[in-house]
Structure 1
Amino acid sequence: MSRKLLIPAALVGCLLLAGPATAATTKTVSIKRSSFSPATVSIVGGDSIRWRNDDTRDHQVVSTTGAFASPVLRAGRTYTFRFDVAGTDRYRDALNPSVTGTIKVAGPPPAVTLAASQPQIDYGQKITLSGQVNSKKAGENVQLSYQPYGQASEIVLATVITGPDGTFAYTVAPKILTTYKAKWKSATSLAIATAVRPSISFGRNNGFVARVYAGRSMARKQIQLQRLSKFGQWVTIKRVFLNLDSRIRFTAPLPCGANRLRIAMSVNQAGAGYLGAFSREISYRRAC
């Protein structure tokens, strides 16, 4: 069964994965005759330090723990090192050991990602929300919130606890186009969204029978009976309106022989917050 549905372009970018982006920075330390300036620098994990020899003499930057070591730096030369691990790194000038400096590396700021297992579903289906906190620790509390189409503000969905590597997952069944966010400490993920199609049942029982399921009533909405032509195109052969129970029983003129049929509901009939939808396809042979 083929389903070709369109999603608004503004929605596509946020359907699958959302997470904050952070840019690493580089700070410069000036090497002088008898000092590093500044002598102490604070950065976060992933940032870099660039040492620049602003003296006329040679200097060499060496970590006291062996974590890094520059070549001998002549006047005007530089050396850059990236610090990925939180902690305090002390260093000295190997050619003038009394000159020392300190780099304080803080852990990166809190960040949390969030993804949805499916960008589009039929009404009644479930999706899995999953993500990770950048501490990669188990036992962290992550708050999930959701905002259905038409809702003015976010609603708390659940608080989940991270497992190994700081990952988490939660299963939910959105009833209409819904956006989701994850919050951890001071960090909030970007919003992601899952779009919803009405679910259409279609079969035969003394004629054709169709029913549309959604998060709101589809009473008086129009659906189309479509037939697959010999050219491989779906052609609408009858339009009918659903009753107050969002269902309809009807008959339709069909050509003799085999017929491949389905029910279609346009996005306009589905209404705001829903995609257009198709039922399953059925085969019906009319004897003449």
Structure 2
Amino acid sequence: MRRYPIGLVALLVLAIVSPASAATKPVTITKAGFVPADITVAVGDVVTWTNSDTVVHQVAFDKLACNLTIQPAQQGSCTFGESGTFNYRDPSQKGNFRGTVQVTAPAVTLSLAASRSIAVYGSGVTLSGKLSSGAAGEPVAVLAQPFGQTAQQQVGSTVTSTGGAWSLVVKPTVQAVYQARSRSVSSGSVTVRVRPRVTLSRVGLTFSTRVSAARSLAGRYVFFQRRTALGQWVSLKRVTLRATSAQTVAAASFRFTLPRGTSRVRILLPQAQAGGGYLAGISPV
């Protein structure tokens, strides 16, 4: 079995387990002591000691399972996986051969994702994320900035569960930018775009369509379309929507005779007719 110096073994093992994204902070061992003697790092960082003296030195921690014996002109490293203050010394030397590694806790972050980026008016979208601290029971507020608005408004709240996970269902009525907050921590933002809800029904030769959105689309027009054998949608009729008793619903009825056989038809509300904050609306086929 091949043998390695103790200091080299520590270096090899710790290099394997250290995260690829971790920072490495250097400390030089001189005849006078550790330079710098005190160092601050983040959780996951690596500290590497380089022995520039002509004698063997040790790095012995009081409460860390990483003790190094480093030959002259060699190095040894320790990875710090938790926050705290870690004192170390060289027990083979006297004088200033003492040092401290202060490990700071990582900043708490809050993530946010949407189950889909496009929703139909009134349908549910699940917003979810995770608090990096993993704490359960932490409050999470969900804020939205609807299209055309300059300020955010709270649209819901929840608390984190085991592991810091959270989720909340929202029902966007117009395009909105969402953000989550937990105490002083804010997430990034996600945008959910919205299509007006368009339906199409038929009784005999009479077709009826209803278009729902946050504002009335009465006076706007839609296209009655049929799909060709080549898969293209061809407009057969333009229909103007009228107001209904429901302020958010516009509707229209019209007669049309389709050719014999099976036809795939739909209603298309162009984006220009839907207006700002909406995508084009399409009825189910």
Letter in 1 for 2:274: A
CA distance in 1, matches of 2:158, 2:52: 52
Secondary structure of 2:188's counterpart equals coil
The separation in 1 between residues aligned to 2:59 and 2:176, in whole angstroms, is: 54
Partner of 2:271: 267
- What is the aligned-residue identity percentage? 35
Mapped partners of 1:78, 1:49: distance in 2: 10
Amino acid paired to 1:152: T
Mapping of residues 39-54 of structure 1, within 5 Å:
39-54=37-52
Residue by residue over 1:190-211, the C-alpha shift from the partner in whole angstroms, topping out at 9 and shown as x without a partner, is 1111111111110113501001
d(CA) in 1 for partners of 2:185, 2:27:
31
**TM-superposition CA deviations, 1:200-228 (whole Å, max 9, x none):** 11011350100101111111122111111
Please list, as runs of the form range in 1=range in 2, the aligned pairs for 1:154-173 lying within 5 A after superposition. Answer: 154-173=152-171
Larger Rg: 2
- 1:66 CA drift (Å): 4.7
Counterpart in 1 of 2:239? 240
Deviation per CA, 1:67-117: give whole Å up to 9, x if none.
223352422x43333312112222223543762221122211121111111
Relative to structure 2, which stretch is displaced further, 268-277 or 152-161? 152-161
Give the counterpart letter for 1:170 in structure 2: L
- Counterpart residue number, 1:119: 117
CA distance in 2, matches of 1:187, 1:239: 50
The answer to whether residue 93 in structure 2 is matched with residue 96 in structure 1 is yes
**Cα distance, 1:97–1:162 mapped onto 2, change above 3 Å:** farther
Deviation string 1:142-180 (CA, Å, 9 cap, x unpaired) is 222111111111112334221111111111101111111
Distance 2:239 2:138 in 1: 53
- State the partner residue of 1:4: none
1:107 & 1:233 partners in 2: Cα distance?
Answer: 58
Alignment of 1:249 with 2:266, yes or no, is no
Unmatched segments (≥5 aa) in structure 2: 1-20, 245-249
Match of 1:230 in 2: 229
Q: Please state how far the C-alpha of 1:183 moved relative to its aligned partner.
A: 1.8
1:120-199 aligned at under 5 Å gives the runs 120-199=118-197
Query: What is the identity, as a one-letter code, of the residue corresponding to 1:226?
Result: Q
Q: Distance in 2 between matches of 1:227 and 1:200?
A: 16
CA 1:24/1:151 → structure 2, altered by over 3 Å: closer, same or farther? farther
Q: Structure 2 counterpart of 1:84, which letter?
A: G
Stretch deviating more after TM superposition (153-162 or 230-239): 153-162
Number of residue pairs matched?
258
Alignment match of 1:276 (pick from 277, 280, 283): 280
1:53 Cα deviation from its structure 2 partner: 2.5
> Structure 1 stretches (4+) deviating beyond 6 angstroms?
none
1:16-64 Cα offsets, whole Å, 9 max, x none, are: xxxxxxx754332222223212222222322332323233333232333
